[in-house]
Structure 1
Amino acid sequence: VLSDYNQALHPPPGVNSAFWVPPVHNILSPVNPETVRLLFQGWLRLHEMVITQLCSGLPLCLTSKQWRSLLEVAGWRYSEPDMPMTTGKCHSDMRQLLNWHCYSSATPESEDFSLQPVSWNSKPLVLHKEIPLHIDCEVIWEILELSFWNDLVMLDSMLDNSSMNLAE
Protein backbone atom coordinates (compact mmCIF):
# COMPACT_ATOMS: atom_id res chain seq x y z
CA VAL A 1 0.00 0.00 0.00
CA LEU A 2 1.81 3.11 -1.23
CA SER A 3 -0.83 5.63 -0.17
CA ASP A 4 0.98 6.35 3.10
CA TYR A 5 4.22 8.21 2.39
CA ASN A 6 6.18 6.79 5.32
CA GLN A 7 4.29 3.51 5.44
CA ALA A 8 5.24 2.05 2.04
CA LEU A 9 7.30 -0.61 3.79
CA HIS A 10 6.33 -1.99 7.14
CA PRO A 11 8.78 -0.85 9.81
CA PRO A 12 10.91 -3.40 11.63
CA PRO A 13 9.41 -4.80 14.85
CA GLY A 14 9.64 -2.34 17.72
CA VAL A 15 10.09 0.70 15.45
CA ASN A 16 7.37 3.33 15.53
CA SER A 17 7.45 5.21 12.22
CA ALA A 18 4.92 7.85 13.25
CA PHE A 19 5.76 11.52 13.86
CA TRP A 20 5.25 13.75 16.89
CA VAL A 21 5.12 16.87 14.74
CA PRO A 22 4.07 17.09 11.11
CA PRO A 23 6.82 16.31 8.60
CA VAL A 24 7.77 19.57 6.89
CA HIS A 25 7.26 18.04 3.45
CA ASN A 26 3.55 17.77 4.29
CA ILE A 27 3.35 21.55 4.36
CA LEU A 28 5.82 22.48 1.62
CA SER A 29 5.25 19.79 -1.01
CA PRO A 30 1.88 20.82 -2.54
CA VAL A 31 2.23 22.47 -5.94
CA ASN A 32 -0.67 24.86 -5.35
CA PRO A 33 0.53 27.88 -3.29
CA GLU A 34 -2.98 28.28 -1.85
CA THR A 35 -2.80 24.76 -0.40
CA VAL A 36 0.61 25.53 1.13
CA ARG A 37 -0.83 28.71 2.70
CA LEU A 38 -3.79 26.82 4.14
CA LEU A 39 -1.53 24.05 5.53
CA PHE A 40 0.59 26.74 7.22
CA GLN A 41 -2.61 28.14 8.73
CA GLY A 42 -3.52 24.66 9.94
CA TRP A 43 -0.18 24.37 11.74
CA LEU A 44 -0.55 27.87 13.21
CA ARG A 45 -3.89 26.82 14.69
CA LEU A 46 -2.43 23.55 16.01
CA HIS A 47 1.07 24.41 17.17
CA GLU A 48 0.19 25.46 20.73
CA MET A 49 -1.86 22.30 21.24
CA VAL A 50 0.93 20.11 19.81
CA ILE A 51 3.59 21.77 21.98
CA THR A 52 1.37 21.33 25.05
CA GLN A 53 0.95 17.65 24.19
CA LEU A 54 4.72 17.24 23.78
CA CYS A 55 5.36 18.83 27.18
CA SER A 56 2.68 16.74 28.87
CA GLY A 57 4.39 13.51 27.89
CA LEU A 58 1.37 12.42 25.83
CA PRO A 59 2.25 13.68 22.35
CA LEU A 60 0.26 13.04 19.24
CA CYS A 61 1.95 10.26 17.31
CA LEU A 62 0.56 10.28 13.78
CA THR A 63 1.60 8.97 10.39
CA SER A 64 2.52 11.40 7.65
CA LYS A 65 -0.90 10.94 6.05
CA GLN A 66 -2.70 11.54 9.36
CA TRP A 67 -0.69 14.74 9.94
CA ARG A 68 -1.59 15.97 6.47
CA SER A 69 -5.28 15.29 7.15
CA LEU A 70 -5.08 16.99 10.55
CA LEU A 71 -3.47 20.08 8.97
CA GLU A 72 -6.20 20.12 6.31
CA VAL A 73 -8.98 19.81 8.89
CA ALA A 74 -7.46 22.56 11.04
CA GLY A 75 -6.74 24.73 8.02
CA TRP A 76 -9.96 24.63 6.02
CA ARG A 77 -11.74 21.30 5.90
CA TYR A 78 -13.16 21.16 9.41
CA SER A 79 -16.79 21.60 8.41
CA GLU A 80 -16.65 19.88 5.01
CA PRO A 81 -18.90 16.82 4.74
CA ASP A 82 -17.11 13.50 4.91
CA MET A 83 -16.67 11.74 1.60
CA PRO A 84 -17.29 7.99 1.49
CA MET A 85 -13.60 7.40 0.72
CA THR A 86 -10.43 6.79 2.68
CA THR A 87 -9.64 10.52 2.69
CA GLY A 88 -13.09 11.36 4.07
CA LYS A 89 -12.69 8.75 6.81
CA CYS A 90 -9.25 10.12 7.70
CA HIS A 91 -10.63 13.69 7.85
CA SER A 92 -13.46 12.49 10.08
CA ASP A 93 -10.99 10.73 12.39
CA MET A 94 -8.77 13.84 12.57
CA ARG A 95 -11.80 16.07 13.27
CA GLN A 96 -12.72 13.79 16.20
CA LEU A 97 -9.12 13.84 17.43
CA LEU A 98 -9.04 17.62 17.19
CA ASN A 99 -12.32 17.92 19.09
CA TRP A 100 -11.07 15.57 21.77
CA HIS A 101 -7.87 17.54 22.29
CA CYS A 102 -9.26 21.06 21.97
CA TYR A 103 -12.68 21.11 23.54
CA SER A 104 -13.97 20.10 26.92
CA SER A 105 -17.52 21.37 26.52
CA ALA A 106 -20.55 19.11 26.25
CA THR A 107 -20.99 20.07 22.59
CA PRO A 108 -17.45 19.86 21.22
CA GLU A 109 -18.43 20.23 17.57
CA SER A 110 -20.23 23.53 18.11
CA GLU A 111 -17.32 25.59 16.80
CA ASP A 112 -15.56 25.27 13.46
CA PHE A 113 -11.88 25.01 14.40
CA SER A 114 -10.81 26.04 10.90
CA LEU A 115 -12.43 29.47 11.43
CA GLN A 116 -10.43 30.33 14.53
CA PRO A 117 -8.07 33.30 14.14
CA VAL A 118 -4.46 32.61 13.22
CA SER A 119 -1.56 34.33 14.95
CA TRP A 120 2.19 34.01 15.26
CA ASN A 121 4.10 35.39 18.25
CA SER A 122 0.84 36.92 19.50
CA LYS A 123 0.39 38.91 16.29
CA PRO A 124 -2.79 38.16 14.30
CA LEU A 125 -2.35 37.18 10.66
CA VAL A 126 -4.76 38.07 7.88
CA LEU A 127 -6.15 34.79 6.59
CA HIS A 128 -6.83 35.73 2.99
CA LYS A 129 -3.32 37.10 2.41
CA GLU A 130 -0.06 35.25 1.94
CA ILE A 131 1.87 34.63 5.11
CA PRO A 132 5.02 36.81 5.13
CA LEU A 133 8.18 34.93 4.16
CA HIS A 134 9.94 35.55 7.48
CA ILE A 135 6.99 33.95 9.31
CA ASP A 136 7.06 30.99 6.90
CA CYS A 137 10.74 30.51 7.74
CA GLU A 138 10.10 30.77 11.49
CA VAL A 139 7.27 28.23 11.30
CA ILE A 140 9.39 25.74 9.35
CA TRP A 141 12.25 26.29 11.80
CA GLU A 142 9.90 25.60 14.73
CA ILE A 143 8.70 22.33 13.22
CA LEU A 144 12.23 21.18 12.37
CA GLU A 145 13.52 22.13 15.82
CA LEU A 146 10.68 20.31 17.59
CA SER A 147 11.27 17.27 15.43
CA PHE A 148 15.01 17.33 16.11
CA TRP A 149 14.61 17.65 19.88
CA ASN A 150 12.02 14.90 19.99
CA ASP A 151 14.24 12.60 17.95
CA LEU A 152 17.17 13.41 20.25
CA VAL A 153 15.15 12.65 23.39
CA MET A 154 13.93 9.37 21.90
CA LEU A 155 17.43 8.37 20.85
CA ASP A 156 18.76 9.20 24.30
CA SER A 157 16.06 7.12 25.97
CA MET A 158 16.75 4.19 23.63
CA LEU A 159 20.51 4.30 24.26
CA ASP A 160 20.25 4.81 28.01
CA ASN A 161 21.44 1.61 29.66
CA SER A 162 21.53 3.00 33.16
CA SER A 163 19.09 1.90 35.78
CA MET A 164 18.47 5.49 36.92
CA ASN A 165 14.91 6.70 36.94
CA LEU A 166 13.95 9.91 35.14
CA ALA A 167 13.95 11.98 38.35
CA GLU A 168 17.62 11.20 38.99
Structure 2
Amino acid sequence: MAAVAPDGLSRSGPTGTPEALTARGTLSPSRRMALSTLAAGCLVAIAGLPATARAATIRKRALDACLDTLLPEDGFGPSASTLGIGDTLIGLAPEGTDFHRLLALGTQWLDGLAARPFADLPPQARTDVLRYLEGADVNEIPGRFYRVVRQAAMELYHTRADTISGLPLNPAPQPAGYPPPWG
Protein backbone atom coordinates (compact mmCIF):
# COMPACT_ATOMS: atom_id res chain seq x y z
CA MET A 1 0.00 0.00 0.00
CA ALA A 2 1.26 3.50 -0.78
CA ALA A 3 2.00 5.92 2.04
CA VAL A 4 0.94 9.56 1.79
CA ALA A 5 3.61 12.04 2.84
CA PRO A 6 2.80 15.37 4.53
CA ASP A 7 3.50 17.22 1.27
CA GLY A 8 0.56 15.43 -0.37
CA LEU A 9 2.61 13.11 -2.60
CA SER A 10 1.92 9.43 -2.39
CA ARG A 11 5.04 7.33 -2.15
CA SER A 12 5.47 3.63 -2.71
CA GLY A 13 8.19 1.73 -1.02
CA PRO A 14 9.70 2.70 2.27
CA THR A 15 8.61 6.11 3.54
CA GLY A 16 11.08 8.89 2.75
CA THR A 17 12.82 7.14 -0.16
CA PRO A 18 12.71 8.88 -3.53
CA GLU A 19 12.57 5.67 -5.63
CA ALA A 20 8.94 5.75 -6.65
CA LEU A 21 6.57 8.63 -6.08
CA THR A 22 3.37 6.68 -6.61
CA ALA A 23 2.34 3.09 -7.00
CA ARG A 24 2.50 3.60 -10.79
CA GLY A 25 5.89 5.35 -10.68
CA THR A 26 4.54 8.77 -11.77
CA LEU A 27 4.31 12.05 -9.95
CA SER A 28 0.89 12.81 -8.55
CA PRO A 29 1.13 16.31 -7.04
CA SER A 30 -1.51 17.88 -4.90
CA ARG A 31 -3.06 21.23 -5.83
CA ARG A 32 -0.97 22.96 -3.15
CA MET A 33 2.25 21.45 -4.50
CA ALA A 34 1.36 22.40 -8.08
CA LEU A 35 0.61 26.01 -7.11
CA SER A 36 3.78 26.35 -5.05
CA THR A 37 5.85 24.94 -7.93
CA LEU A 38 4.19 27.35 -10.35
CA ALA A 39 4.82 30.29 -8.02
CA ALA A 40 8.45 29.30 -7.56
CA GLY A 41 8.89 29.05 -11.32
CA CYS A 42 7.43 32.52 -11.80
CA LEU A 43 9.73 33.95 -9.15
CA VAL A 44 12.74 32.37 -10.84
CA ALA A 45 11.63 33.79 -14.20
CA ILE A 46 11.21 37.29 -12.76
CA ALA A 47 14.44 37.14 -10.79
CA GLY A 48 16.29 36.08 -13.93
CA LEU A 49 15.34 39.25 -15.79
CA PRO A 50 17.66 42.22 -15.61
CA ALA A 51 16.42 44.96 -13.33
CA THR A 52 15.83 47.25 -16.30
CA ALA A 53 13.50 44.74 -17.97
CA ARG A 54 11.18 44.85 -14.96
CA ALA A 55 11.09 48.64 -14.95
CA ALA A 56 7.73 50.30 -15.09
CA THR A 57 8.56 53.80 -13.85
CA ILE A 58 9.40 56.59 -16.25
CA ARG A 59 12.12 58.80 -14.82
CA LYS A 60 10.77 62.25 -15.59
CA ARG A 61 13.97 64.15 -14.79
CA ALA A 62 15.95 62.00 -17.23
CA LEU A 63 13.28 62.40 -19.90
CA ASP A 64 13.16 66.19 -19.47
CA ALA A 65 16.97 66.41 -19.57
CA CYS A 66 17.01 64.35 -22.76
CA LEU A 67 14.33 66.55 -24.34
CA ASP A 68 16.06 69.76 -23.24
CA THR A 69 19.27 68.52 -24.82
CA LEU A 70 17.41 67.90 -28.08
CA LEU A 71 15.29 71.07 -27.88
CA PRO A 72 17.03 73.64 -25.66
CA GLU A 73 15.84 77.14 -24.94
CA ASP A 74 17.28 79.59 -27.44
CA GLY A 75 16.49 82.96 -28.97
CA PHE A 76 13.66 81.48 -31.01
CA GLY A 77 11.69 79.55 -28.43
CA PRO A 78 11.47 77.92 -25.00
CA SER A 79 12.93 74.56 -24.04
CA ALA A 80 10.98 71.33 -24.34
CA SER A 81 10.56 71.00 -20.57
CA THR A 82 9.25 74.56 -20.30
CA LEU A 83 6.48 73.61 -22.73
CA GLY A 84 5.77 70.34 -20.91
CA ILE A 85 6.71 68.08 -23.83
CA GLY A 86 7.87 65.39 -21.38
CA ASP A 87 4.54 65.50 -19.55
CA THR A 88 2.73 65.21 -22.88
CA LEU A 89 4.81 62.17 -23.86
CA ILE A 90 4.13 60.54 -20.51
CA GLY A 91 0.42 61.27 -20.99
CA LEU A 92 0.55 59.52 -24.36
CA ALA A 93 2.08 56.42 -22.72
CA PRO A 94 -0.51 54.76 -20.48
CA GLU A 95 0.92 52.22 -18.06
CA GLY A 96 1.14 48.75 -19.52
CA THR A 97 1.66 49.90 -23.12
CA ASP A 98 4.80 49.29 -25.15
CA PHE A 99 5.40 53.05 -25.34
CA HIS A 100 5.32 53.31 -21.55
CA ARG A 101 7.78 50.42 -21.23
CA LEU A 102 10.04 52.01 -23.84
CA LEU A 103 10.06 55.34 -21.98
CA ALA A 104 10.69 53.59 -18.66
CA LEU A 105 13.53 51.42 -19.98
CA GLY A 106 15.07 54.28 -21.96
CA THR A 107 15.09 56.70 -19.05
CA GLN A 108 16.49 54.02 -16.74
CA TRP A 109 19.20 53.33 -19.30
CA LEU A 110 20.07 57.05 -19.37
CA ASP A 111 20.24 57.23 -15.57
CA GLY A 112 22.37 54.09 -15.40
CA LEU A 113 25.17 55.45 -17.60
CA ALA A 114 27.09 57.30 -14.92
CA ALA A 115 27.44 57.47 -11.16
CA ARG A 116 24.92 60.31 -11.12
CA PRO A 117 21.57 60.72 -12.88
CA PHE A 118 21.47 61.81 -16.52
CA ALA A 119 19.84 65.13 -15.57
CA ASP A 120 22.84 66.00 -13.37
CA LEU A 121 25.42 65.44 -16.11
CA PRO A 122 27.02 68.49 -17.75
CA PRO A 123 25.42 69.60 -21.05
CA GLN A 124 28.37 68.36 -23.15
CA ALA A 125 28.14 64.87 -21.62
CA ARG A 126 24.39 64.74 -22.32
CA THR A 127 25.04 65.83 -25.91
CA ASP A 128 27.68 63.11 -26.29
CA VAL A 129 25.23 60.49 -25.04
CA LEU A 130 22.59 61.62 -27.54
CA ARG A 131 25.17 61.54 -30.35
CA TYR A 132 25.89 57.95 -29.39
CA LEU A 133 22.17 57.14 -29.35
CA GLU A 134 21.75 58.69 -32.78
CA GLY A 135 23.93 55.93 -34.23
CA ALA A 136 22.66 53.15 -31.95
CA ASP A 137 20.87 50.10 -33.34
CA VAL A 138 17.15 50.76 -33.70
CA ASN A 139 16.45 47.15 -32.70
CA GLU A 140 17.95 47.74 -29.26
CA ILE A 141 16.19 49.71 -26.51
CA PRO A 142 18.55 52.73 -26.44
CA GLY A 143 18.39 53.25 -30.21
CA ARG A 144 14.63 52.74 -30.38
CA PHE A 145 14.10 55.03 -27.38
CA TYR A 146 16.12 57.81 -29.01
CA ARG A 147 14.37 57.62 -32.38
CA VAL A 148 10.84 57.37 -31.03
CA VAL A 149 11.29 60.08 -28.39
CA ARG A 150 13.08 62.41 -30.80
CA GLN A 151 10.41 62.06 -33.50
CA ALA A 152 7.52 62.50 -31.07
CA ALA A 153 9.20 65.43 -29.30
CA MET A 154 9.95 67.22 -32.57
CA GLU A 155 6.36 66.87 -33.70
CA LEU A 156 4.93 67.98 -30.36
CA TYR A 157 7.35 70.90 -30.07
CA HIS A 158 7.14 72.32 -33.60
CA THR A 159 3.36 72.15 -33.86
CA ARG A 160 2.96 74.69 -31.07
CA ALA A 161 2.49 78.33 -32.03
CA ASP A 162 4.70 79.59 -29.19
CA THR A 163 7.73 77.73 -30.59
CA ILE A 164 7.64 79.41 -34.00
CA SER A 165 6.69 82.90 -32.85
CA GLY A 166 10.34 83.99 -32.66
CA LEU A 167 11.20 82.71 -36.13
CA PRO A 168 11.42 85.28 -38.93
CA LEU A 169 8.57 83.78 -40.92
CA ASN A 170 6.85 86.08 -43.38
CA PRO A 171 3.12 85.81 -43.88
CA ALA A 172 1.95 83.95 -46.94
CA PRO A 173 2.00 86.13 -50.08
CA GLN A 174 -1.54 85.03 -50.93
CA PRO A 175 -3.36 84.68 -47.58
CA ALA A 176 -6.72 84.28 -49.33
CA GLY A 177 -5.33 81.69 -51.74
CA TYR A 178 -4.48 81.91 -55.41
CA PRO A 179 -6.91 83.26 -58.00
CA PRO A 180 -8.54 80.52 -60.06
CA PRO A 181 -6.95 79.93 -63.48
CA TRP A 182 -10.23 80.64 -65.29
CA GLY A 183 -10.84 84.00 -63.85
Question: Structure 1 length as normaliser, TM-score?
Answer: 0.29
Larger % of helix: which?
1
Which of structures 1 and 2 has the larger relative contact order (alpha carbons within 8 angstroms, sep 6+)?
1
Bigger CA radius of gyration: 2
